Amino acid sequence: MKTPRIGAIGGGQLARMMTPPAIHLGIEFKVLAESEGSSAAMAASQVGDYNQLEVVAEFAKTVDVITFDHEHVPLSVLQALEAASISVQPPSRALAFAQNKLHMRQKLSEFNLPMPAWAEIKTAQQLDEFIAEQGGVAILKTPIGGYDGKGVRVVRSSSDASDWLINIDDFGGSLLAEEKVDFVRELAQLSARSVSGEFAAWPLVETQQVDGVCAVVIAPAPSASEAVLAQTADIAEIVATSLGVTGVLAVEMFEARDGRILINELAMRPHNSGHFTIEGSITSQFEQHLRAVSGLPLGSTAMQADHAVMVNLLGVDEKNTFVEHFGTAMAKHPVAKLHTYAKSARKGRKMGHVTVVADDLDFALAQAKGAAAVLLQGI
């Protein structure tokens, strides 16, 4: 078998973490990075602007498959590559729904998938009507360009969003209003679908956010009922097949207090909720993504132990890169697996993560949080 040559657009930590499995499998893996010294610098074969078709097309000539570290490449660029018979995975027709939250809601409605009540908003009056219907409070989102909670706001009146309404053309002419879900927890269902249609899901996980940013992931999601597990796995498979997703798909969901499981958003690439799979699963999400986009058979998604806990390392300030505390953390927490993304430090930035895999959940939580505290505070 000829091993595929895979090119990822975007030089962030996700491309960085695709590199080790590519090495193991003998896959020639290249990255089109946006800047020198990116997180995925060791695989970066080219630095250039992914908004420019000529740059991306030149990069695509050197590989068999194009895939992604982020969902920001303009659809027009991807469509032009596809028109030139270049394999783009996931394809533009699927990725379109990860780029625009409003289009995602519209598309998932066609399949009767469970979602918070939502509405497309073009005017202040429409927003005030929706807020009134929702009992005086709603969530408002910019359909494009949001990440880590930026572009998400709680609104009680259209005046809370006048800045967005004035600049609505910057967001594609519409905003997305949603029911403010009263949730008991957030969940994520990670899965992969290969270009040949093979599908595999990892265990459902619980994700805990702080200030809209993922802080902790617990795999599998503690005490999830059989009904919830069946429903979330079904949702992932319906989304993957009906949208034609290839590669890793993350479906972020809410478990509402009234028992409803509701889809929040989709990511069509390896995802923060799946970093635990590097040590926690027989096949990591990064290896699975490479297999899936190049048509190789998928690997087992079974856990290596009963539990895995992942704690994100978020930037404290401009100075703390965590790495100076790696020695202390290693000495105090030898079961913790430490990951740096080699990024310049900035407050709130995802700088790395810690994973602990164990048969005892309390032990895994204590060790992962303990190691993260050493790295964050140097104690």
In eight-state DSSP terms, residue 153 is: E
DSSP per-residue letters across 182-198: -EEEEEEEEEEE-TT--
In angstroms, what is the minimal distance from the CB of 215 to ligand ADP? 11
User: Counting contacts by CB under 6 A, is residue 265 touching ligand ADP?
Assistant: yes
β 175-179/307-314 pair status: unpaired
Per CB under 6 A, the segment of 87-95, 176-184, 305-313, 358-366 that binds ligand ADP is 176-184
* Helical (H) or strand (E) element with 341: none
Which residues are CB-neighbours of 185 under 8 A, at least 6 positions away? 206, 208, 221, 254, 255
Give the single-character DSSP code of 344: -
Q: Shortest distance, CB of residue 148 to ligand ADP, whole angstroms?
A: 5
Contacts of 226 (CB under 8 A, 6+ apart): none
Could you tell me which residues come within 8 angstroms of residue 105 by beta carbon, excluding any fewer than 6 positions away?
A: 115, 118, 176
C-beta of 69 vs 178, nearer to ligand ADP: 178
**From 149, 172, 244, 348, residue interacting with ligand ADP (rule: CB under 6 A):** 149
Q: Which is nearer to ligand ADP, 141 or 275 (CB)?
A: 141
Interface with ligand ADP includes 147 (CB under 6 A)? yes
Task: Choose between 176 and 338: whose C-beta lies nearer to ligand ADP.
Answer: 176
CB of 311 to ligand ADP, least distance (A): 17
Under 8 Å between Cβ of 149 and 213: yes
What's the half-sphere exposure (Cβ side, CA atoms, 13 Å) at 169? 0
Tell whether omega for the bond before 90 is within 30 degrees of 0, i.e. cis.
yes
If one asks whether residue 146 binds ligand ADP (CB under 6 A), the answer comes out as: yes
Q: Under the criterion CB under 6 A, does residue 186 sit at the interface with ligand ADP?
A: yes
Bond before 222 cis per omega within 30 degrees:
no
User: What is the distance between the alpha carbons of residues 215 and 373, in angstroms, rounded to a whole number?
Assistant: 13
Prior bond of 20 cis (ω within 30°): no
- Closest CB to ligand ADP among 149 and 299? 149
Residues of this chain, 196-235, that bind ligand ADP according to CB under 6 A: 209, 212
Please choose, out of 147-155, 195-203, 243-251, 273-281, the segment that lies near ligand ADP by the rule CB under 6 A.
147-155
Applying CB under 6 A, which part among 70-78, 88-96, 139-147, 229-237 lies near ligand ADP? 139-147
Q: Is the peptide bond before 4 cis (omega within 30 degrees of 0)?
A: no
Question: Which residues, numbered 99-118, are part of the site for ligand ADP (CB under 6 A)?
Answer: 116
Instruction: For residue 354, list its beta bridge partners.
Output: 311, 338
Two tokens at 145?
């360009």
Nearer to ligand ADP, 180 or 325 (CB): 180
Nearer to ligand ADP, 34 or 71 (CB): 71
Q: Which residues pair with 209 in a beta bridge?
A: 214
Indicate whether 139 belongs to the interface with ligand ADP (CB under 6 A): yes
251 scored as a contact of ligand ADP (CB under 6 A): no
Choose the stretch contacting ligand ADP; rule: CB under 6 A; options: 174-182, 238-246, 335-343, 346-354.
174-182
Which tokens is 136 given? 């005086």
Burial group, residue 115, by CB count within 10 angstroms (0-12, 13-18, 19+)? buried
Contact between 180 and ligand ADP by CB under 6 A: the answer reads yes
Candidate residues 151, 220, 315, 352; the one interacting with ligand ADP per rule CB under 6 A: 151
Does residue 153 interact with ligand ADP by CB under 6 A?
no
Map residues 115-134 to x or -, x wherever contact with ligand ADP holds by CB under 6 A: -x------------------
**Shortest CB 109 distance to ligand ADP, Å:** 15
Residues that bind ligand ADP (CB under 6 A): 116, 139, 141, 146-152, 178-181, 186, 209, 212, 252, 264-265
